[in-house]
Structure 1
């Protein structure tokens, strides 16, 4: 495989897996980062097809640095970086522990800083146009109960996206992709979408009257890393079926 390199954090499950598959289909070599699910990583890894997996806990700056070293030394300089890894630990604010706050913020926000700070210098120095896509959340704009840690991390990610777009220009574009309700195992469990009444209540809030698919979100990623968005940076792209219309 000799195509451009893409790095996808959280790239072995859910939406991240769809990103890995789509980028590979578009001709990229892909390094998918994962934190702990060895079985998922084993199933995704396909070196012959240009898909490699690297374990990293992005909440830990040393682990993130080790992953950066592995990527650069073993696979080269990425042209695309997708900061998708995230964790959600819901708790009422007055009951939220320091560890629950730190784990979410360190993964969802600081992890993006660690990984991008590690890879961006090589991306800039390569002389190639590159794309960084940060995966946000609707709750980074619209708050919800019991999610102060998650909402704060995703709100911070929106502003980090803009700062990076300013500082990595003109060579590297940085945008934020914000999925709405997307049919993943984690979301089905959290919102009880396997229950007809619960699903109907969710659908009633979405003008498109359907839950998004991982391919819907991968379509948006394809746009953000492709030539059609060559003049777009520092922006947010909301893919939510019209649920919020920000």
Structure 2
């Protein structure tokens, strides 16, 4: 069904826009008619259809504040904020170094806070209604021993989302989370291409028998970021094909 909502007055700021998910989100919002400002860490060209791109380490509040101000000067005050920047460093919690733990928490949780805070401040100055969508993970409620710091950061992110939602509802700023399962992007995509058997085993563990595409995540984000969304806030849209519902005893699929 085509999107009949008018996005032409929307200004979206997207972090992590050079990643698989962030890139798909930025492209989707631009295709719908929103003006899109993006940031990420690498020194690369802006994603297609982005109005502007800046190199930003979201773990540094001064860099985040400077980007949000510069993007607002170019594109106008944000009406949409997509907090997508994130990373994962594999390893069990008992073996993680202080540096690895800190970097994951700094980017995934503290960086998300810095970004949301800066975007919300611009919304409040401009006195515009807005939507924030954080990219969380099913790992927030389904712990992963090999990516413990990531799971902890995403669990904290969920509390951050809900607290922002409660604080900002009276300002007509709606705050939600999209929590994907296993996405065919980034490191997962590299591993799947190297090991097709791993991809088959992974797909076999998902009750819906399908690994999520970045474009699927983008559509979920657009649903919550849409100007047609006037009431949904503090919600978590879990998009994992039933993966977090399944168990060894109840896999959700017929043998």
Q: Secondary structure at 1:204's aligned position in 2?
A: helix
1:7 alignment partner in structure 2: 13
Counting matched residue pairs gives 239
Query: Match for residue 241 of structure 2?
Result: 241
Residue 141 (structure 1) shift: 0.9
Secondary structure (helix, strand or coil) at the match of 1:64 reads helix
Considering only aligned residues, what root-mean-square deviation do their CA atoms show, in Å? 1.9
Q: Which residue of 1 aligns with 2:180?
A: 179
Structure 1 regions of 5+ residues with no counterpart? none
User: Is the CA contact 2:46–2:53 (under 8 Å) kept in the aligned structure 1?
Assistant: no
Q: Given the alignment of the two structures, is residue 30 of structure 1 paired with residue 36 of structure 2, yes or no?
A: yes
Matches within 5 A, 1:201-220: 201-220=201-220
Q: Deviations over 1:17-44 (max 9, x none)?
A: 00000000111110111112x23xx152
Q: TM-score, normalised by structure 1?
A: 0.90
- Secondary structure in structure 1 of the residue aligned to 2:243: coil
**How far has the Cα of 1:213 moved from its partner?**
1.0
The structural deviation recorded for 1:167 is: 0.6
Cα pair 1:12 1:20 within 8 Å, conserved: no
Distance in 2 between residues matched to 1:195 and 1:58, nearest whole Å: 32
The offset of 1:227, in angstroms, is 4.5
Corresponding residue for residue 124 of structure 1: 124
* Alignment deviations for residues 118-169 of structure 1 (CA, whole Å, 9 cap, x no partner): 1212213433321000000111111111322111110000000000001111
What TM-score comes out, normalization by structure 2 length?
0.87
Contact kept, 8 Å, 1:132 with 1:174, in 2: the verdict is: yes
Look up the match of 2:4: none
Q: Is the 8 A contact 2:51 2:75 kept in 1?
A: no
Change (3 A) 1:208 1:194: farther
Question: 1:17 maps to which residue?
Answer: 23
The answer to whether the 8 Å contact 1:139/1:151 transfers is yes
C-alpha contact 2:87 2:104 (8 A) present in aligned 1: yes
Query: Does residue 165 of structure 1 match 2:165?
Result: yes
The answer to whether the 8 A contact 2:178-2:220 is kept is yes
Contact 2:86–2:108 (Cα < 8 Å) also in 1 = yes
Q: Extract unaligned runs of 5+ from structure 2.
A: 1-7, 247-255
Structure 1: distance between partners of 2:110 and 2:46:
28
Q: Is the 8 A contact 1:32 1:53 kept in 2?
A: yes
